[in-house]
Every structure is written in C-alpha cells, then in structure tokens.
Amino acid sequence: MLIRVAQSEDIETLFDIRTSVTENYQSREEIAALGITPKTVGEMLADDCCAWIAEVEKRPIGFAMANATEQTILGLFVLPKFEGQGAGRALIQTAESWLWSQDSKEIWLLTGNDPSLRAYGFYQHLGWVATGVVATGDFAGEMKFVKQRGQT
C-alpha cells in the first residue's frame, strides 16, 4: 500500500470514496448542503488543509484530510471492500503526524455518536478520547474525539 499526498486532480476521487462508504454514508447532495463541494475542497487544499490517498496497485482505496488551522482531522474514509486491511490506520497516522508537524498540541475529530460504529471503536483503539457530543450546528449529535501530543 502506498500513501501519497492528494492533488487537485484527485478531488473527484475523494468524493467517489466518500460516497462509497456504508457507515456514515452521505450523498454528494448531503455533503454539498454542508458546504463541501469540489470547489471548496480545492480551496481548502490550496490553503491550510492536506489530504492523503491510500492506493493498492495504483487504485485509490481510501483517504484522510486534515486542517492545520483548526487542528482537526476532517475525514477518514476507506472503500468498504478494503476495510480492515490497515489503510485507515496508515491514513490516520499520516494525518496525525502532519498535524503534529504543524505544532498542534491537541488534535480533534468528529464521528458518529454510536459506540457500535466501527469508526468509534477504531479511534478509541488508536488512543483518541471521546470528550462529548456536539450540541449545535451542522454536526450536532456527533461525538468529538481528542488526542494530545505524545498520546499513542
């Protein structure tokens, strides 16, 4: 497996992967309603965000995206048929390393507030700590996870 930095020409691939997942599924229309479009993702990648793509035999199978200003992981998605094969772990570790290199002391992410979801347990297993449910805004009801520098 290869992890590489996503480029502007990869934006459609990011959307294809994002809309392929079974847990935490959102359509392109639902994502656009949150203000996430190919145009805004391109702007984010040109500003303070970075995304990485996991590839197997040159086929994109997952991606992660992080924001240095907000010190957050914006998303981590893996094609369903490649789940459980290490792509998610490799991507999250890449995103964490990048955020730590941006002088972050604490990083955070949001995911579904259901302990039976794969992502919820995945983040806990990797040392992320659930700190509470977001009360308002577009992501109300999501669980916030945090990780301190040096936490494993």
How confident is the model at residue 149, as a pLDDT? 85
The span from the CA of 54 to the CA of 62, in Å, is 5
Q: What is the pLDDT of residues 94-130, one digit of tens each?
A: 999 999 999 889 999 999 898 998 999 999 999 999 9
Average pLDDT over residues 31-37: 93
Q: What CATH homologous superfamily does 2-148 map to?
A: Gcn5-related N-acetyltransferase (GNAT) (3.40.630.30)
The span from the CA of 32 to the CA of 28, in Å, is 6
Average pLDDT over residues 20-46: 93
Nearest to 24, CA basis, from 85, 75, 96 = 75
pLDDT of 151 higher than 70:
no
In DSSP terms, 112 is beta-bridged to 142
The span from the CA of 129 to the CA of 47, in Å, is 28
